[in-house]
Each structure stands twice: as C-alpha cells, then as structure tokens.
Structure 1
C-alpha cells in the first residue's frame, strides 16, 4: 500500500450464536457468502464468487450496489494460511470504495473460536486510513447483522 497515512488496523470481535463450523462455512461456501456478504444496500451475486479455500488459493467476488448496479467493488484475495473451522489469513486487493482509490496488498485475518456452542470471531484487516477504517468497520458490522440472520435460519 502506498499511502503512508494508512496505518490503522481494523479489529472486530463478534459472538455468533452458532457453532464455529457453521460460521466458518458461511465464509467459505459460495452459496452462503452470496446471502450475507456486503453491507446493507449491497449484494454479492452468486455468479461473481470464485472460492478456492486452501493455502495459495483465492477468493474473488464483486459487491454490487442495490441502488446503482453500475457501482461495483471487486475483491481479489489470496489465502496464505487456512485451518479449517479455525483460521483464514490472506492478502487482498479491492477497489470501488466511494471516493477512494484501489487498495493493493491489504491483509486479512479471521479467527473462529469455540465459545461453548457459539463462535467468537476475531477479524483483523488493514492497513487503513482512519476514515476508511471507520467505513470498513461500519460495513463489516452491517454484513455481520446479515450473517446473524442467515445463521438463525
């Protein structure tokens, strides 16, 4: 990343009322990912998702604005560490955040911890500028609200 002010790490911890295997599956199954990923007002068309969940594998998809389908935000990530039902680590490139340029080589770490039949998810992502970190936090929390609904079905 070339922006020297982008030094803020996003950290979100959230408890999901579902076993970690189900939460992990929601991140790694294309059909489920299409049902919840993206903040309210965005969707991820199933046909845009290409997942190969293994070390050296990838995650590619495109978020699309529900109000303006010409506004899209493609994501292209490569997995560097995968432990089934426990951990996803990788680097990602994305573009299309409103008023922002493309970001290259951002890291992502998602941990899935068993909490007695529930899952404590810890997400780390960055680096961000302070402004973009706040937008990303809002977007993830909105997405996680959609994931709560999917997991409760």
Structure 2
C-alpha cells in the first residue's frame, strides 16, 4: 500500500508598520467596507467583501481587477475569491482565520497580531500554508499591505 505524500506546511511571517492607531488598523481588517478599499493584490483594484465577524463566522473576499472583471493571476491562481472562517477574534489585538481559494489553496490558516508602537501600529502576520505557496502569498500580502498603507495615509479608511 502506497502512503499518501505529506504536504509540507511552512509559516510565512510578515511584519508591517502603519502610521495609524491600532483600533483603526484593526477595523481595516474587520469592517467589510474598509477591507474593500485595500484587500486586493494589484494597483487600482478593488474588492467585494462580506463577513460575519464572530468566531465561526464566514468571510468572502472577491478581488476585482481595475478593468472591473475578476483578476487573472499570473501564477496559477484560478480564482481571486478567497474565503474562510474566523477562528479567533480579540479586538484590537489578534485575528485568526482560515484562508481558502478553490483550486489553489484548499486550507491554510492566518494569524495576525496587532501591536501599538510609538509611530502607530505594527502587525505580525503568520500564514501557515504549503511551502510551495509561500512565495506567491508573500507577494500578495505585501501588495495588499501596500494598498492598506495608501488607504490609511489618504484617509480612505
């Protein structure tokens, strides 16, 4: 009998500092309207976001390309719709949720820690996912955080 191959999981760790108070940054991650202003991985895009912000509640993020059509990923991501379930909510300190994208990521978990610092807020994101998907997710999270930084600085959120 052949043993099924084990999926190698790795933790992608990203830190970012934002020039905004912790409550404002936390709300940017939990309010659907605010999330729609930055939660997409390319310039000029947008997102449609739905969520039920309770432990066990679901969320859905549909990333929209500037052309207003669903974005096509260059790196084999067939669907720019991400969804999952909230596993932990501790405002304004911590969020933990599953992260799924059909046909690309069957299951992963994201934990985000929020910390007040002199200049605003530091976040630490830990995304536990298959090792071969780390690079594309690092690129995507960094692009989203760049959009968040812009949205916060321009007071869009």
Aligned ranges 1:38-57 → 2 under 5 Å: 38-41=40-43, 43-45=45-47, 48-57=48-57
User: Aligned partners of 1:55, 1:16: CA distance in 2, in Å?
Assistant: 26
Per-residue deviation, residues 39-65 of structure 1 (Å, max 9, x unmatched):
1157343xx321111111121121133
User: Aligned partners of 1:53, 1:17: CA distance in 2, in Å?
Assistant: 25
Aligned ranges 1:3-152 → 2 under 5 Å: 4-41=6-43, 43-45=45-47, 48-66=48-66, 69-70=69-70, 71=72, 72-95=79-102, 101-130=103-132, 132-152=133-153
Q: Point out the structure with the larger strand share.
A: 1
1:20–1:113 contact (8 Å) kept in structure 2: yes
What TM-score results when the alignment is normalised by the length of structure 2? 0.81
User: Aligned partners of 2:44, 2:106: CA distance in 1, in Å?
Assistant: 22
Q: Point out the structure with the larger helix share.
A: 1
Q: CA RMSD in A?
A: 2.2
User: Aligned partners of 1:148, 1:63: CA distance in 2, in Å?
Assistant: 18
What TM-score results when the alignment is normalised by the length of structure 1? 0.83
